[in-house]
Structure 1
């Protein structure tokens, strides 16, 4: 088991200063190759990466947590993909938007909220529910946190519990993701993110502004997790064993689930074509803070990539192209692994 090209690409990402450090793992069935390289903090001082540190995984919350909660509710016949969201969120006025639109980012929900990050949770909730549907409805996949915030509220409406509590109870604990949490108790065990002009060094507190305001009622971000826990998650998904959704639902993630079926988006996950060993699809997702998960459900292989690309300064746009190149290197190299 060897991923020399991918590991070298990760090291170059650190050596040229694109990110402070990376924790990574490659999964091949029962085998796992893991490593870490570089620093976890540059400001206020240099700190080398330590094992078992918690990362703010940002939008990986959507696919590790919220997507699986929604799929569970569908399996339990408490929710359907064609249900209108106004059935659960009566403040929302547009009857066209369904659960499927939200989970595939084809809802077209758009609009500007003045001083969004300065609002209280109640004010932000009301403002989000007053947004409108734009011209992209169904026609275009436009990635938006709002879709998964709404999904979290729908899950709460059905169960009576906030989405982050549902994720902890239904996903993290059953899978044995014992380190993962929405409320880190010790900031020193967390990899820091941005040095904010208003918040200082953000460490042990969620980076995402909407999640910071909405707290346990945010289904789009907020999860802190370790490399080991995300390996646990991927291994369960790849083996379809111990995973919190049905094997049929796992396989459904390989299908384009958008209303028009040609936008390369499944339930929560993005679809990624690969030609090796034969043409097929993988699933993947990223997080704003510099995280990514890739899974090949056909070959039972996966990659976990954790960095803090927003430390010390966001947005670090140069990172995105480099991350995509690393994923492509991995996809090519994993076909060679025996």
Structure 2
């Protein structure tokens, strides 16, 4: 099954674009898993082991923060039209709403000098001192800041840091027992970049803002395994009310941006699948070399985990190859559509 997609994935490793890949395809209750290549090249070669922890980077947004926010909406504790200022009074622009943050249409912009050298408190203050620019509502501009703010808003409502809330509200209910924000054993983690300042990053979050903000970061920081992400995708593809309601899952297929034509939903990006009939899918990627694809209509999904930033970031050659793999998968999966 999925011969062409598997071939494209293994060629990615053979061509030296990524050290290795763990992947899975979900077709209803049927799951096909695989792995290929290495987990580390530096300081020495290490073959990839089953079910290692990967730094998910921005997949934290859609696995975690999106679901916490939508659960708050279901509970009546938050509305998409609420002003950010109502929860973060330090933020001065009263036009900005939860929907703007969820769809990356906030237009938040500005420069923070020496950002990665600030303390958590200093970075918190600096981010709240940014401003809304000319792209407000007019253009979807992907930014971690939107989901950092959402994490702080959830914390203001529920009284606990966003990463604690994700653990309690998403990971534990779905039985994602190996997923964590604080890996206990670095050897169980696939390494990321060899940094000039941090050296080999392994078992600690790669993202610099998440590294500073720690448990108060809703944009990155989650480590997870192939098996746990299969559990997550199966929950999203099922009739379960976990991690969000069926109505909310359906709403993810709509363009939720203010202008309704920017191919962005709540956190997730939208894709057009052409087979068996034209319909929308959702997907998201992580900077470290991860992505998820979900076809909620046909109940199919793909999990892709790599460490494309090992040993050197950013490895931009990966991006075009990633997009080609997704397109191959979208075409090929129609042969395995669940009836």
TM-score range relative to shorter protein: over 0.9
Paired position in structure 1 for 2:304: 305
1:220 to 2:219 alignment: yes
The residue number in structure 1 matching 2:140 is 141
Please report the TM-score for the alignment, with normalisation by the length of structure 2.
Answer: 0.99
Q: How far has the Cα of 1:240 moved from its partner? A: 2.9
Q: Distance in 2 between matches of 1:107 and 1:75?
A: 23
Mapping of residues 73-152 of structure 1, within 5 Å: 73-152=72-151
Aligned pair 1:159/2:158, yes or no? Answer: yes
Structure 2 residue runs without a partner (length 5+): none
- Work out the CA distance in 2 between the residues paired with 1:264 and 1:172: 27
Q: Take 2:164 and 2:238, find their aligned partners in 1: how far apart are those partners?
A: 26
Inter-partner Cα distance in structure 2 for 1:111 and 1:31: 47
**Within the alignment, does 1:176 sit opposite 2:207 as a pair?**
no
Change (3 A) 1:186 1:242: farther
RMSD between aligned residues: 0.6
Looking at structure 1, the residues matched to 318 and 104 of structure 2 have their Cα atoms a distance apart, in angstroms, of: 23
Distance in 1 separating the partners of 2:239 and 2:220: 25
Question: Partner of 1:318 in structure 2?
Answer: 317
Distance 1:129 1:144 in 2: 14
Residue number in structure 2 paired with 1:188: 187
Equivalence for 2:45:
46
What TM-score results when the alignment is normalised by the length of structure 1? Answer: 0.99
Q: Which secondary structure state, in structure 1, belongs to the residue aligned with residue 62 of structure 2? A: helix
- C-alpha distance in structure 1 between counterparts of 2:24 and 2:230, whole Å: 7
The residue number in structure 1 matching 2:268 is 269
Deviation at 1:303, TM superposition (A): 0.1
Cα distance between partner residues in 1 of 2:239 and 2:63: 14
What per-residue deviation string (whole Å, max 9, x for no partner) do you get for residues 71-102 of structure 1? 00000000000000010001100011100000
CA distance in 2: counterparts of 1:213 and 1:58, whole angstroms: 14
- The separation in 1 between residues aligned to 2:173 and 2:274, in whole angstroms, is 34
1:15-58: per-residue Cα shift (whole Å, max 9, x none)? 00000000000000000000000000000000000011000000
Residue of structure 2 equivalent to 1:16 = 15
Distance in 1 between residues matched to 2:71 and 2:336, nearest whole Å: 34
Instruction: In structure 1, list runs of 5 or more residues that go unmatched.
Output: none
Matches within 5 A, 1:238-257: 238-241=237-240, 243-257=242-256
Structure 1 residue 242: Cα displacement:
5.2
Instruction: String of CA shifts for 1:160-212, please: whole Å, max 9, x gaps.
Output: 00000000000000000000000000000000000000001000000000000
Provide, for residues 236-283 of structure 1, a one-character-per-residue CA deviation record: whole Å limited to 9, x for no partner: 000132522111011100000001111100011000011100000000
Q: How far does residue 114 in structure 1 lie from its aligned partner after superposition?
A: 0.2
